[in-house]
Structure 1
Amino acid sequence: MRGLLQGIWRRGRTRWAVLSLALVVLAAGAAVARSVARGDQLSQNRAQLKEACQGLLPQERLRRHLPEDAAGTAEEYGTLLDPDQESRALLDCRLSWGGAARVWVRAEALGERRFQTPADDASEIAGYAVEDERGGGSEGRFPFRLPASATGTVQRGEVRGGTSAVASLLVSCPKGLKGRTGATRDLQVAVGLPVEGRLSEEDRMLAARTAVSYANWITSRQRCGTPRLPVDAPAPQPAKALCAWLDPKELGLAAGRWTRSAARPYSDWSGRCSARRDDEATPRRLAITAVRAKSLAGVLGREQSRARRALEGGPDTAADGSRTVIGAGDPYTFDLWAQSTCDGGRVYHHVALTPELVYDEQKSAVLSKADVDTLSAGARTVMERYLAAADGWPATSHCRGAKMLEDAR
């Protein structure tokens, strides 16, 4: 009996051993199958990345973002791909994994309509005018040297829950662009690439280089007369002479210590100068403590015109000409616009003065008609000096026939 029981025990142990081995083999096989499936999916994602967006995306850098367990989705359209297509875009390409937009490229011939990108909420127009007006900071500036016929920015953008390096370029095409917007010379190219955390210099350079590659591809296909943009030429230093005219002492602004911006390198598209008083001593009432001046051409000028019309209401004006200013939000500015014809066509000029005001307990300040006249005269003085400065942007752009659009407000 004892021998019989030992035999049964040995046979049972053998069966369990065989069963366990079989389970191990099955588990290993499933793991191998999953590994092969992941490898196949990753290979498919890499092949998709290589072909997407006309093959101009930075392959090596983007491979680190490719998932092993999710298929990519690519959408691509535009009149450059299908000339008979009803699309405003010359090229629109989006590549995502798992439903989150990670890579996008859009190029459009700009007409009267403002160009929109997913990062527009962070800028005045598709990434432009992000310069710190208070001190002329370098945030957003394009890292490569561009000809005067082009201007660009690179900034951090939040797009559908992800962080992107957003590079935008505006390029002038002398021979015009073919698109649904009608005759236009304004080309905009915008690129968004995924980044992790803060926007590094490497991220900025990569996004800028990618945007330049697409701009060159499009202008070559369109044969619009634009020379190829350089891909790696370092950005030039700011052209200080463009803002030399903005001298607080000569303009009779508030006494004290001032910080002036260094102008961006000259561009046909825009010019900007700013200065802000950073002295701790309190200036007298109505003394000017900050000045901004800018000129915008092309589509940027059209946006400036819209901004001017949006402010036509101004502060509350009484029958006697006095104005009530509510001290909430940004400091009150006294604005004046002018228009002239320059090398880049119609250009809008804008001057904004920030006066020292005294607010009551209701956070309001009253400007008498005499106060308004004083500020208006000051704004005109700044505008006239800006337009006449030999080294300023208007003179460099050969602006002529300047006309004040309306009284300052």
Structure 2
Amino acid sequence: MRGADGEGPGRGDTGAADAPVARWQQWRPRTWGALALAALVLVGAGAYAVRAYTARQQLADNQQQLADACWGLLPRDHLRPHLPHDTAGRLVEYGTLLHPDQESGALLDCRLAWGGVSAEVRATAPLRPGPDAPDTVQPPDAAFPLALPANALGSADGDDDTAAAVLVVTCPNGLARRTGRSTDLQVRVSLPLARPGTPEEPDGPTRTEAARTAVAVADRIAVRQGCGGTPLGELRAAPTRPDASLCHWLDADALGLAGTWTSRPTGPYATRAGHCELRARPVPQRPGDIVAIEATSASGAWSRDIAEQQQGAALPHFTARATARCGGASTYHQVVVRTLDSAVVDRQPSREQLAEQRRLARTVLDRYVAAEGAWPDRSGCRGTRVLEEAP
């Protein structure tokens, strides 16, 4: 009867209708999980694409900034590996070449930095050598890595993070400053060391890159300021060798010096400065004995620096000095005879020894300014005037 009144078929119909619902309930968790995973993948891919685009755009911006900074003279190939993808570069540029009405001690001061990495260029017209100026007497490891002409002076240095080069060239027409006029143009360039894994090495091409950049900046400024000198152009990458012929005149035998003496090789000839030196080997141990003889010349800003350096000398010495015009520039000649410090032997030199050392200083000076092939001769010095001798 239950079947006859339709109850059986009704239950059968209900069961048939419930089957798709059961299958839907089984399928739904898996489907939503897959959809959620797909959504996450799409979101992640989108975020990655955005980050990648942003990184590419930031790198492109940094590359363009590098190309434009410092008149576009920074070495791009060297600095490109340092460019970050996630940090904007910070550029600071000022100086009277960029802003003529600006109060500045620099013709150009440019610094481009990315976090802790930076490239720097500074150009000045010094009235006297500053603390970072090239020394007229340079150790071999500080030599400028390019073969400079005689009218330029350079040096190279650096630390654990950077390599730097300093270059000074002559501007015959002069460079105006608010406090005076200079015929010297000095450029200093500092670059980060090469990244590990790149072909460059800290002791080689990195310093060369700094030197080449300094040359490019100096030439650009010289043309822009009408310096009147000859551009340096492309210099060959070769270490500058000492020119021993500059000091052949400083001969121990010709001066009547007893014992063994060694000469310190001078740098290449430069119109700005020259230096020759003899040292006693081994060092004498008697009071008043001579331990070294030095002859130095400098013109322009460098001539103002010699006397002050001499005042700070530690060992006892006797000095003969002269002035001259060399190549049209005011020049200072100096010969120093250094003696053994009396504190070492606890005795003072005799009066006769002191008189002999004064005489020797003047003899060396006379020989120096007249010697063929010495710095005064090569520099065309004229009108030499000996100054009062000073102990």
TM-score (norm 1): 0.78
The 5 A counterparts of 1:214-253 are 214-233=217-236, 234=238, 237-253=241-257
Q: Counterparts in 2 of 1:133-282, with a 5 A limit?
A: 138-156=140-158, 158=159, 163-196=161-194, 199-233=202-236, 234=238, 237-253=241-257, 255-256=259-260, 258-279=261-282
Q: C-alpha displacement at 1:50, in angstroms? A: 0.2
Contact 1:79/1:90, CA 8 A, preserved across alignment: yes
Q: Within the alignment, does 1:392 sit opposite 2:374 as a pair?
A: yes
CA distance in 2, matches of 1:5, 1:166: 78
The Cα of 1:69 is off from its aligned counterpart by 1.4
Q: Which moved more, 1:214-223 or 1:345-354?
A: 345-354
Query: Residue in 2 aligned with 1:328?
Result: none
Between the aligned partners of 2:62 and 2:293, the Cα distance in structure 1 is: 52
* Structure 2: gaps of 5 or more residues: 1-18, 196-200
CA contact (8 A) 2:295 2:336 kept: yes
| Match in the other structure for 1:43 | 60
Matched-pair contact (CA < 8 Å) for 2:284–2:290: no
Output the amino acid matched with 1:348.
Answer: Y
From 347, 362, 365, the equivalent of 2:331 is 347
Select the residue among 44, 52, 55 that pairs with 1:27.
44
C-alpha displacement at 1:26, in angstroms?
A: 2.5
Per the alignment, in what secondary structure is the counterpart of residue 338 of structure 1? Answer: strand
Code of the aligned partner of 1:207: A
1:367 aligns with 2:351: no
Equivalent residue of 1:69, what SS?
A: coil
CA drift of 1:250 comes to 3.1
Distance in 1 (CA, whole Å) between partners of 2:233 and 2:133 is 21
Aligned-partner Cα distance in 1 for 2:348–2:194: 49
Displacement after TM superposition at 1:217 (Å): 0.8
User: CA offset at residue 68 of structure 1?
Assistant: 1.4
Q: Does the Cα contact within 8 Å between 1:253 and 1:289 map onto a contact in 2?
A: no
Q: How many residue pairs were aligned?
A: 364
Counterpart of 2:298 in structure 1 is 296
How far residue 10 of structure 1 moved from its aligned partner, in angstroms, is 4.7
Report the counterpart of residue 119 of structure 2 in structure 1: 103
1:363-409 deviations in Å (ceiling 9; x for gaps) = x844245254444344333333333322211232233323235422x
Q: Does 1:336 align with 2:319?
A: yes
Normalised TM-score (structure 2): 0.81
- Residue 126 of structure 1, aligned match among 130, 133, 136: 133
Q: List per-residue Cα deviations over 1:237-280 (Å, max 9, x = no partner).
A: 43222111222333344513x4323322221100011233444x
Q: Which amino acid aligns with 1:127?
A: P
Distance 1:84 1:356, change over 3 A: closer
Is the Cα contact below 8 Å between 1:294 and 1:350 reproduced in 2?
yes
- Secondary structure of the 1:173 match is strand
Aligned to 1:15: 32
Conserved in 1, the CA contact under 8 Å of 2:284 and 2:291?
Answer: no
Q: Larger % of helix: which?
A: 2
Amino acid at match of 1:108: T
The separation in 2 between residues aligned to 1:196 and 1:274, in whole angstroms, is 37
Write the deviation string for residues 164-197 of structure 1: whole angstroms up to 9, x where unpaired: 2222222222222234243332221221122149
Q: State the 1:127 CA deviation.
A: 3.0
From 330, 351, 363, the equivalent of 1:381 is: 363
Distance 1:335 1:348, change over 3 A: farther
The answer for unaligned runs of 5 or more in structure 1 is 133-137, 315-330
The one-letter code of the counterpart of 2:54 is A
Between stretches 146-155 and 10-19, larger displacement belongs to: 10-19
Higher deviation after alignment, 162-171 or 224-233 = 162-171
1:228 Cα deviation from its structure 2 partner: 1.2
What is the deviation of 1:75? Answer: 1.5
1:59-82: per-residue Cα shift (whole Å, max 9, x none)?
A: 111111111111111111222223
Q: Identity across aligned pairs (percent)? A: 38
Whether contact under 8 Å (2:316, 2:341) holds in the other structure is: no
The structural deviation recorded for 1:101 is: 6.0
Q: Distance in 1 between matches of 2:103 and 2:46?
A: 51
Residue 402 in 1 paired to residue 349 in 2? Answer: no
Deviates more, 1:216-225 or 1:138-147: 138-147
Number of the residue aligned with 2:12:
none
